[in-house]
Structure 1
Amino acid sequence: MEKVCLVTGATGRNGAGSATIKFFARQGWRVVVNYSRDTAAAEEVAEECRALGAADVLVAQADVTSDEACRAMAADIEQRWGRLDVLVNNAAVTTFNDHKNLDGLSFDDFQRVFAVNVSGVYVATRAMAGLLRRTGNASVINISSVGGLRGTGSSMAYAASKSALNAMTFSFARVLAPEVRVNALLPGFIEGDWLINGMGRERYETVRAGLIAKNPLKTVQTPEEVAEAIWWLAHGPAALTGELVQLDAGGRLAV
């Protein structure tokens, strides 16, 4: 029976979410393209997945901050296929703001970022937990960030949310074992529109060049490399759970 993968926030153009769902589709999996607002973008990704060889494609609208929507999505997956093998918690938001600008983030900014990046992962994973357990030998991969370890990234709110996500990864790994493994992937700088739009082209290129010069592997990450790492975590060692796997071209080793 074909396995099933759900990626939340799978519609960003040139993003890690869409690259991941297409990676699984290319392997002949059944895939769930989750989105919150942009139906046209979701349908576009779904068509690409079909063309790449997905066994079946479900387009699922669900805001991860809505418990009702996430439970409805789980019910749709169960009714259609009766299993879920991999959940990739990718949906995330940020407010781009220099960490030194303490007045640049409002209370509402923090609330919004934590609602999606932390509470949303909790709600989505809880909704899928029963299905994952019944499937057995399932895997959850939370997309975190090296910023959650270093207090860096697009904003202080984003870094704090990813640090919270790291802690929640440990908790879920304990709670969902032994039927489900739970790990987090912590990318560094990921090339693509998300950072370009948030940082502006000039700053994006400056930061990218600086990281390439500094990182031991002399590169930064592409969405496709993130997808490959997610695939590995989903199929990785059977004893691997509760781990924070950094994918940063060795940036943590730079001096």
Structure 2
Amino acid sequence: MEIGAENLTKSYGRQIVLNGLTFRVQEGSVLGLLGNNGAGKSTLIHLLTGIHQPDSGVLLIDGKSWLDAAQHDSLRRQIGVLPEQGQLNPELTAAEQLRFTALLYGIDLSSNMDQVMAMAEYLFEDLSVLEKRCATFSTGMKKKLGLILAFLHKPRLVLLDEPFSGLDPGSARLVINFLNAYSRSDRVIVVSSHNLSYVEQVATHLAVLHETEFRFFGTMDAFTSSGQSQLESSLMQLLAPEEKSTDQLRRLLS
């Protein structure tokens, strides 16, 4: 599966969020989506899911336009999504949430149970968690369940909005291994995250959004070849705000 766009624009009222984005992500890629808060990362993910429509331009998924309503159902069945805030029903147990989501995708969960249990055992390590109500889950547990739900139907396009937030380092390592194991030549994974060290361990490509446009879009190797510190340094140079004097602040805090 490939995704792409031509002159993609999206505004909310008078606020332009994305302005004329043109890009292409080939199948087999893991795209790390970076940028400051409010840069438009979540908006781009919403457009890719089909939740929102662009003001102008063309958004393509596997060569098919999201503007063609006839394609929506077939495309949605190939997309897995982890929203930043999650969409769990607090009254359901994790197992009930899995069954409910399977119904939405038209999946026979019983015939797919080995895969589901393998994902749950890997991420949770204790399968008794599945019988607990989602309302009792910690932020990290909700994130892990959300990941399982996103991958439940073996999607060819996976859109993850802040998948590492709320995770301790050990859990983040499990998620990194999980994503690397799922990556395949006919799939695309998009990971929006503020955690550069984690993005670096999964991404083959980077897109840096800043002031409605891409400041960078290309391979990880083209962006940097020197590890986390260089990645952070390069990103900070790209997105650094204007230097401001701290003299007044120092006087106020003294």
TM-score by length of 2: 0.34
- The structure in which a higher percent of residues are strand is 2
Q: Which has the larger radius of gyration?
A: 2
**Greater relative contact order, per chain length (Cα 8 Å cut-off, separation 6+):** 2
TM-score by length of 1: 0.34
Structure having the higher helix fraction is: 1
